[in-house]
């Protein structure tokens, strides 16, 4: 199976007709149908690493200030306990625990409800241990690479640039220079297959600091990079900076 890193951006993109959700819908139609989907979302941060193991994960509305329509969204995908167990057993370098409380947060369902609108592919999530550095997540991802051969589509959901404090609300807002700079750094080093620079992204300078005041939305990229295999093709999509300070750049490794 391929590996996706998806910039999910504004939650309203899940339910509105826009250029990003249109691409998500097209993507779901063209990809090989997965047996299950594992989502690593910027919105499930924990101490330790957890994998959801429920039969029917609930739809989590982990945001505020949006229209009621968004809070009414329900994405009734089945869970994927068999694959969750394999994921836990496949990780040897750290302990991974079962979780029965979480569900599907908007980093997962906002994209998946467009890719697979019938919710007919089982979905489970793996949390991000927010106490660990980027390199930890990059190495952890390598341990679950076997899932690709098991028919599991891994969807890492975050944003290459994510600075909500600097959002520009006007229509067709001009991107900040630092947002374009860091987006370009990520693009170039993905193309060059040079993950070390992206793992040590803080060393790239001020553009990195401005692009990620906190790195919650950056860390999912580490999973996509860690799951990348030699010889994988690279295809970018939704490669634009939105609202001045949020890169929607997404990539498929296949």
Q: Does residue 64 carry a pLDDT above 90?
A: no
Other CB atoms within a 10 A radius of the CB of residue 134 amount to 19
Q: In this predicted model, what pLDDT tens digit does every residue of 138-162 receive, in sequence order? A: 999 999 999 999 999 999 999 999 9
Residues of the chain with pLDDT > 90, as a percent, come to: 98
The whole domain housing 19 covers 3-253
**Cα Rg of the chain, angstroms:** 17
> For the chain, how many structural domains are there in total?
1
Please check the confidence at residue 35 and state whether its pLDDT lies above 90: yes
Q: What is the pLDDT of residue 8?
A: 98
CATH number for the domain that contains residue 110: 3.40.830.10
CB proximity list for 119: less than 8 A, separation 6 or greater: 75, 76, 77, 112, 113
Q: From CA 19, how far away is CA 84, in angstroms rounded?
A: 33
Give the pLDDT confidence of 3-34 residue by residue, as tens digits.
999 999 999 999 999 999 999 999 999 999 99
221-250 residue pLDDT tens = 999 999 999 999 999 999 999 999 999 999
**Mean pLDDT on 177-192:** 98
pTM value is: 0.97
């Amino acid at each position: 199976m391929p590996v996706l890193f998806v910039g999910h951006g504004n939650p309203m993109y899940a339910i509105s007709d826009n250029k990003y959700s249109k691409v998500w819908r097209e993507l779901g139609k063209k990809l090989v149908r997965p047996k299950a989907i594992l989502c690593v979302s910027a919105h499930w941060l924990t101490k330790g690493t957890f994998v959801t193991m429920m039969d029917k994960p609930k739809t989590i509305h982990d945001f505020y200030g949006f229209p009621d329509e968004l809070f009414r969204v329900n994405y009734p995908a089945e869970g994927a306990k068999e694959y969750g167990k394999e994921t836990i057993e496949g990780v040897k370098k750290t302990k991974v625990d079962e979780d029965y409380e979480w569900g599907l947060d908007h980093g997962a369902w906002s994209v998946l409800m467009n890719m697979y609108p019938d919710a007919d592919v089982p979905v489970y999530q793996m949390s991000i241990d927010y106490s660990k550095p980027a390199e930890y997540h990059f190495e952890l991802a390598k341990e679950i690479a076997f899932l690709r051969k098991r028919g599991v589509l891994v969807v890492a959901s975050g944003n290459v640039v994510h600075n909500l404090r600097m959002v520009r609300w006007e229509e067709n807002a001009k991107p900040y220079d630092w947002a374009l700079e860091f987006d370009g750094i990520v693009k170039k080093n993905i193309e060059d297959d040079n993950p070390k620079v992206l793992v040590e992204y803080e060393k790239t300078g001020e553009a990195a600091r401005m692009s990620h005041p906190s790195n919650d939305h950056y860390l999912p990229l580490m999973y996509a990079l860690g799951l990348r295999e030699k010889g994988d093709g690279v295809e970018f999509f939704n490669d634009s900076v939105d609202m001045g300070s949020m890169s929607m750049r997404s990539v498929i490794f296949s």
